[in-house]
């Protein structure tokens, strides 16, 4: 996923922000470290249990197709698989098929895949992630031009959300859920943030919801590595601090406090930035951030190490169960 080209500059000049997809002109978020946490979170006692085995299997199936790089056979097969999985869970599926231009000048055939669960309900929330794979492991010291699996950076988030869809089919919630899988998130130039997230930019400029628009969104990115830490990301705090506070509070209440850190982090140019800035839909990012690393992300990021060995069921459970807590606590 992301390029954190500015992370190194932050070490010298603290007025730069972190960028998940490349450079950005946005100012540093100066939101206070504290967030207001609801006293009564409303989490039901019979909250369904997230099954990490199913999520892991769905992740592995995607990886087995090969790197899901736009215009590749693996990309087509995986997109068809995701559509079939959403339909299997009873979702109303919308496919946004279009052609976008990459920073290289190449035309990319992409598909944003949307699964609307209980589309008849007016009150709705959006869960989203990207399903494509970066075309090369440019952060790998030995193989910077070769393809890689993209197990954590892409596939695992899809696995988590499809498992959430399965649970919603078996136990309907009081709120409708729109699950959105963005394409062409990772086909960008590290020095230009707006060359990433091409699918979410298209989605935000051409929203597929004719009515019953979600009230807020939650993006997952690199949300399955062992011991992942999720800091309160800058753009999330800028556009939707109350949602951050609620999600983090629910994660803590469910016992996942070590994952959901009560600390703010730099703003990261990810799909949620364009959903917020173009569409105006308050959306937060649950993304693995590692301030101790040289890039700001996990050591696997954009390297050959991003494979199934980096997918951790405990982390998947922490994220998936927290999402269920958010969904089923909605009245």
Structurally, how many domains does the chain consist of? Answer: 1
The kind and range of the H/E element at 221 are strand 217-221
171 falls within a domain: yes
Exposure on the CB side of residue 5, measured as CA atoms within 13 A: 13
Chain centroid to CA 32: how far? 24
Q: Structure tokens of 118?
A: 């209980």
pLDDT digits (tens, 9 = 90+) for 46-97: 999 999 999 999 999 999 999 999 999 999 999 999 999 999 999 999 999 9
Please give the Cα distance from 37 to 16 (Å, whole number). 29
Q: Does a structural domain hold residue 2?
A: no
Output the pLDDT for position 277. Answer: 98
**pLDDT value of position 235:** 98
Contact 195, 103 (CB under 8 A): yes
Q: Which pLDDT score is estimated for 210?
A: 79
pLDDT in tens, 154-211: 999 999 999 999 999 999 999 999 999 999 999 999 889 899 999 999 999 999 987 8
Quote the CA–CA distance of 244 and 291 in Å, as a whole number.
19
**Is pLDDT above 50 for 6?**
no
Question: pTM above 0.85?
Answer: yes
**CATH number of the domain where residue 225 is located:** 3.40.630.10
51 and 329 Cβ atoms separated by less than 8 Å: no
What dihedral angle (degrees, nearest 10) is formed by the CA atoms of 91, 116, 243, 29?
A: 110
Are 281 and 275 within 8 A, CB to CB? yes
In a domain, 271, yes or no: yes
Residue 211: predicted pLDDT: 81
The predicted pLDDT at position 14 comes to 32
Tell me the C-alpha distance between 175 and 208, whole Å: 19
* For residues 94-105, average pLDDT: 98
Beta strand segments in 53-159, E: 92-101, 107-117, 124-130
Q: Give the tens place of pLDDT for each residue, 11-35.
A: 333 333 344 553 333 333 444 444 5
Q: What pLDDT, on the 0 to 100 scale, is given for residue 8?
A: 34
Q: Say how far apart CA 299 and CA 175 lie, in whole Å.
A: 37
Q: Dihedral of CA 19/282/220/185: which sign?
A: negative
Structural domain includes residue 49: yes
Instruction: List, for residues 255-312, the tens digit of each pLDDT value.
Output: 999 999 999 999 999 999 999 999 999 999 999 998 888 899 999 999 999 999 999 9
Residues 261 and 270 sit within 8 Å (Cβ to Cβ): no
- Is residue 168 domain-resident? yes
Supply the range of the domain harboring residue 67.
7-328
């Amino acid at each position: 996923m992301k390029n954190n080209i500015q992370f190194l500059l932050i070490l010298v000049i603290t007025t730069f922000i972190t960028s998940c997809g490349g450079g950005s002109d946005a100012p540093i978020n100066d939101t206070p470290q504290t967030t207001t946490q609801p006293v009564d979170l409303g989490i039901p006692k019979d909250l369904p249990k997230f099954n990490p085995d199913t999520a892991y299997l769905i992740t592995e199936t995607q990886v087995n197709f090969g790197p899901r790089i736009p215009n590749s056979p693996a990309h087509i097969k995986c997109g068809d698989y995701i559509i079939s999985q959403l339909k299997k869970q009873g979702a109303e599926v919308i496919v946004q098929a279009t052609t976008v231009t990459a920073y290289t000048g190449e035309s990319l055939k992409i598909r944003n895949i949307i699964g609307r669960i209980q589309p008849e309900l007016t009150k709705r929330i959006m869960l989203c992630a990207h399903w494509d794979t970066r075309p090369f492991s440019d952060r790998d010291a030995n193989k910077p031009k070769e393809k890689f699996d993209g197990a954590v950076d892409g596939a695992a988030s899809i696995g988590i959300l499809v498992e959430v869809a399965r649970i919603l089919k078996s136990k309907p919630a009081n709120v409708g859920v729109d699950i959105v899988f963005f394409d062409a998130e990772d086909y960008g130039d590290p020095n230009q943030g707006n060359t990433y997230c091409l699918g979410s930019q298209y989605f935000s400029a051409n929203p597929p919801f004719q009515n019953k628009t979600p009230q807020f969104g939650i993006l997952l990115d690199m949300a399955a590595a062992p011991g992942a830490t999720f800091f309160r990301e800058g753009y999330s705090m800028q556009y939707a601090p109350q949602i951050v506070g609620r999600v983090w509070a629910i994660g803590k209440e469910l016992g996942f406090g070590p994952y959901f850190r009560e600390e703010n982090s730099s703003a990261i140019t990810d799909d949620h930035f364009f959903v917020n800035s173009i569409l105006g839909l308050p959306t937060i990012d649950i993304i693995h951030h590692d301030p101790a690393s040289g890039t700001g992300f996990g050591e696997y990021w954009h390297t050959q190490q991003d494979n199934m060995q980096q997918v951790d069921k405990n982390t998947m459970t922490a994220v998936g169960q927290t999402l269920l807590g958010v969904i089923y606590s909605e009245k």
